[in-house]
Every structure is written in structure tokens, then in C-alpha cells.
A and B are shown apart, each in its own frame.
Chain A
């Protein structure tokens, strides 16, 4: 994993000092709230419904045991003993006091962490495939690229005040686990016909009130051209992007209004100029960064004990079947720890749970942890012989739920339980759906099904790309939930289609239940997933299940 150099350390330490002085000036009245607000937002501090919220960056979702343990320490000392992992691979603290935030930032800086650029109209924390460096299907670990982008974009003076926020995501695999087609810029590491490594560049994706799937800007960009090309994209966006209307300011609208061909022409034109400005030092830097992400020293051990345990322990077998993914080394596995125990808040981990995950990473996982955009935590490098021990430890702290990819593995934004922008609650809907399907004992029979819930049109819960998406709205002073179907956040990215009129808070969970029963009735066989059934049959049979009164009226 990349370790901060003296430059990085000085930079974040200076930011802590600056912010401490800014808070003091706000409290003593030297700064008005209007003057202070942009300063706090640049340091990840929001004012939410019930309290402040501090959003901490976890670059490309990667951290180690020491960092996770520090997150637990912060949760205990300055918050209420837990943190919320988000769809941006970050962690949010929901209850900090303004006067404590400088100390929280200092505690983060002590372990090379910060909250810089987790808010504001700048290039945000770069996200990446949460299986990076471990996935069997990977062309290359995307994290060195993400780290290069982090260094380039951090405090970049030209891009500190963009028309709107700007998000990069990077994957190194054909199978897209980083939702790159729903980002302002998505990068996929690819190999061309001669075996050279470069990037497929996708631009103009995004969710929110105008969801769009990104378009290919370059099929193959040579590695050495990455930063000048990204700089050219940013310059074109900065010049062309709208500033007259906040809702039309993202690059997806710029691309939509000008057309991908026009954007391509402008970017290529600008790129020729920018390329001259980069003297090749970025590639020297990249080589150093890449070395820092070298594969761990894998161990050699027998896996017989693991295989025997799986045969004799049904609970372990269920966990293995559901929460393990294929590692590039056959005697290793990627373990996804579900932060979605049935009935719990998706993405919330207690400080005790964080400490257990830190311990497990250090003891069994080559000291690596990842946060996924699906709000789970990953041990990316686990020798299979250690899985029974890990499972036993996870069980003790209620982290062994075997539900990855299943109906209760729900993405949910904080919604109106916390967020000042929300128009309805998300968390209780997720809790109730998970609890209901656990009671029905249908989860494994249903199989792969991704439900994603947003509490407002801004779509932090990625509802547009949920197989079932739920959007909470305020309809005439009442919470109302709209369902979208058929969304997909992977390499076959698709925006879900609206199923029809919304449901009230008390109606939404029964509606989801009808939808799922309809799927079980009409699927061709138990192998056909919800999404496959939807793609085969379209909206109609699901609409009939959702709105039985319409069907009766028609009959």
C-alpha cells in the first residue's frame, strides 16, 4: 500500500493547523457562517439534520489495520461509537461537535488520513474496484492509477472551484465492480492488441436527477498520456460546463448538450497542448507508486483443513458460498465482510467491529482492508486455511452474515434520518426489507438481487443502477417511494426504468415482496436471476404484481 511521503504528511498536517485556526475564528466571530461554510466543506464537514457530519476520505477504499483502528478510536472518542461506510468508499461520522473536529482531523493525520476534497466542487476522492490487487479477472491493480490521480488532483489550483463536483473511478478488470460508467470519468485498465497497457476512458456518466451512462471518449489511451489527457478533460469541462444552473453543471450534461464527438475533438485538441507540459516526471512517480502496491508476500500452506471444515460446518459453507470471491491465487480468497446484518443499518460498523476487522487484517490478511461502494468491508488477501478462524471471529461480533449479493445486501444512503438534503428515509426501508426476507427464509432461493435505496433525487444510494431501485420522495408532505427496475451498475450498465406510481412508507415493503414473489413465479429456472428475468420479460409482469388493482380493473 502507498505510504505518505514527507510532502503528503506536511500537506495534511498544515491543513489540520489551518482548519483549527478557521474553527477558532468562526467561534470567536471573526468569520461569518457564509465565510466559514466553504472552508468546512473543503475539509469534509457538513451540517446535517441533527448534528455535524465529518466525511473522511478512504482513497480508493484501501486501508490497513492501523487506520481502521484509528477510525474506531475516533468513533469512540468524538462520536457515538460507530461510523457509516458510504457508497463513495468513505466513512462518515454523524455526531461530531464543531470544536472537536480539529482534534479528529489531527487523529486522522496521525495515520495519514484526512477529509480533504470529500466535499465541494472539486475532484473528489478517487474510487476503485474494491477487489483491486486481488481479483482473478484483473489486467492490473487499478490503485496505482487511482493514487496518481489523487496526487495530481489534490489541491490542484485549476480544479479547486469547478462548476460542480467531479468524480473519478478506476477499475482494472473487464468485470466492473467500481461502477465506472456512472462517474464523471471512468477509467478501465486495458491491454491493446500489442499487449501494451493503457486505459479505456469513459466520460459523462452519472446518477442524480439526470442519470446517464458514460460514453467512451478514448478506446485506448497509452499509460503515459493519462494525466495530460485527464487535465485536458478537466479544462474542457471547466471552460464549457454550465455554471448558470446547478442541476445542469455536471459533465454528463456538458457531454449530452455538446455531443461526445464535439467533446472528443476539444479534448484531443487540448491534450496536444497539455502533453507538452508534462515532462515525463509523472511516469517516474507512477513507477514509484506502483512499487508501493506490490503484491503481499503470499504464504504457502495446505488448504485441506479449510476444505474439510466447509464440508462439516453448514454455517461456514453458507458463508463461503456467499461471501468469498475468486482470488488470483488459487489457494487464496477474497473475503467480503457484510456490514448488513439483517435489520441493521447498511454500512454502519461499531468501533468494536472495526477493531476486530483491523485485527483480522493484521493477523490473516496481509494487513489490507478495503471498503466497497456497496458498503461492505473486504479482506482482499486471505489464505484459505485461515477462513474458518476468520469466520469464527466475525461471528463473535455479528459480522458473519452470509448475504453478499443477496436481497438483504442493500445499499442505502443515510436518507432523512441524517441527511439535510434527503426527501424521505432510506435506512428503515432497508432494515425492514432485510428483516422481512430473513423471516421468509427466501433469501438464498431468490439469489442475486441488488436493491439500492436513495432518500432523494441526488441518488447517493445508486437506485438507478439497482436491479430494484427505490427512490424516496416528498409527495405533498408525505414520504413516497418510487420503484425502478432493471438497473445495472456493472460493465453492462443500465439505468432502471420507473415501474409506475410511488408507494407510501407502509406500502413499500409489501410492494417489494409482491415484486419478488412475481419473480419467483415467472423465472425460467432457479438459475435465472432477477435481472435476467426482467431482461427477458420486461416491466409488464412486474408492474402487474406491483399494482394488482390495475390488473383487476382491466379484467
Chain B
């Protein structure tokens, strides 16, 4: 039996600023992980990833990251992705200071 698809969010870094972005629910790119489109369909996820790779003038390094749904919002399952939603732990720099 085929394994169930692990849900994902689509993420990348912005080309000019380098900061972390997520593919949102309105066919846009957002800064907050909990506003990301929660992808449960593998085909859709791969199509969106392929489309993201073509947006080279806006973003860099797109990939799919595992997520789960909590209170209706996507949450990272791995600590690396969790850190990416916030910024470094030694200063209030990065996303935690801006979002």
C-alpha cells in the first residue's frame, strides 16, 4: 500500500532580502508560517514547487517542508523549520522582530 503523503508547506527565501517566505493561500508569498497554504496533495505540492522554481527573479531555494495542522493552521514538524519561522534565538532579529 502506498504511504500516505506527509503534508507540506512550500517555502523559499526572497531573492533580494534573503528572508524566509511561504506560499500563501491567495496564490501569493507570505512571511508567516501560519498563513502558508497547507498542502495535502502531492501532485499539487509538486506542481507549485515546479512553478516556484520558475520565479527566479523573486525567490531562491524553494522546497517543500513537512508540516502538521494545529488549530487549523500549519505548524512545522522539524525544529529547523520552526527556527526558520522566527529568526535566531540570541537576538530579536529576523522574522520574530518583524512579523
Contacts and interface: CB of A to CB of B under 8 A. Distances in A.
Interface of A: 26-29, 32-33, 47-52, 80, 94-99, 345, 348, 416-418, 425, 427-428, 431, 474, 477-479
Contact of B90 (A33, A48, A49, A345): A345
B16 A97 contact: yes
A51 B19 contact: yes
A98 B16 contact: yes
A479 to B, nearest CB: 6
Interface in B55-99: 56-57, 60-61, 77-80, 83-84, 87-91, 93-95
Nearest to A96: B18
B40 interface: no
B57 A425 contact: no
Given A27-B16, A427-B89, A428-B89, A47 B60 contact: yes
A98 B79 contact: no
A95 B56 contact: no
A384 B77 CA distance: 56
A428 B83 CA distance: 13
Contact of B79 (A33, A52, A95, A478): A478
Interface of B: 13, 15-20, 56-57, 60-61, 77-80, 83-84, 87-91, 93-95
Contacts of A51: 13, 17-19, 94
| Interface-central residue, B80, B84, B88, by most chain A CB under 10 Å | B88
Contacts of B95: 50
B56 A418 contact: no
Given A50-B84, A417-B89, 11 more contacts: A28-B57, A47-B18, A49-B80, A50-B20, A50-B94, A51-B94, A96-B18, A98-B15, A416-B79, A474-B80, A477-B77
B34 to A, nearest CB: 17
Contacts of A417: 83, 88-90
7 contacts: A32-B56, A47-B18, A50-B94, A96-B18, A427-B90, A428-B89, A474-B80
Contacts of B84: 49-50
Given A97-B16, A97-B18, A477-B78, A425 B60 contact: no
A474 B88 CA distance: 17
Contacts of B20: 49-50
B13 to A, nearest CB: 6
A29 B57 contact: yes
Nearest to A420: B61
B17 to A, nearest CB: 5
A28 B58 CA distance: 10
A50 B88 contact: yes
Contact of B56 (A33, A49, A50): A33
Nearest to A28: B57
A92 to B, nearest CB: 13
Q: Which 5 A-B pairs have the closest CB atoms?
A: A417-B88, A52-B18, A51-B18, A50-B94, A345-B90
Nearest to A26: B15
Contacts of A416: 79-80, 83
Nearest to A416: B83
B90 A431 contact: yes
A479 B19 CA distance: 23
Contact of A427 (B18, B19, B77, B88): B88
Residue of B18, B19, B77, B79 contacting most chain A CB atoms (<10 Å): B18
Given A50-B84, A99-B16, A33 B60 contact: yes
Contact of A477 (B13, B79, B89): B79
B87 to A, nearest CB: 5
A96 B93 CA distance: 13
A98 B19 CA distance: 11
Contacts of A26: 15
Nearest to A34: B56
A420 to B, nearest CB: 9
B79 to A, nearest CB: 6
Nearest to B97: A80
Contacts of A474: 79-80
A107 to B, nearest CB: 19
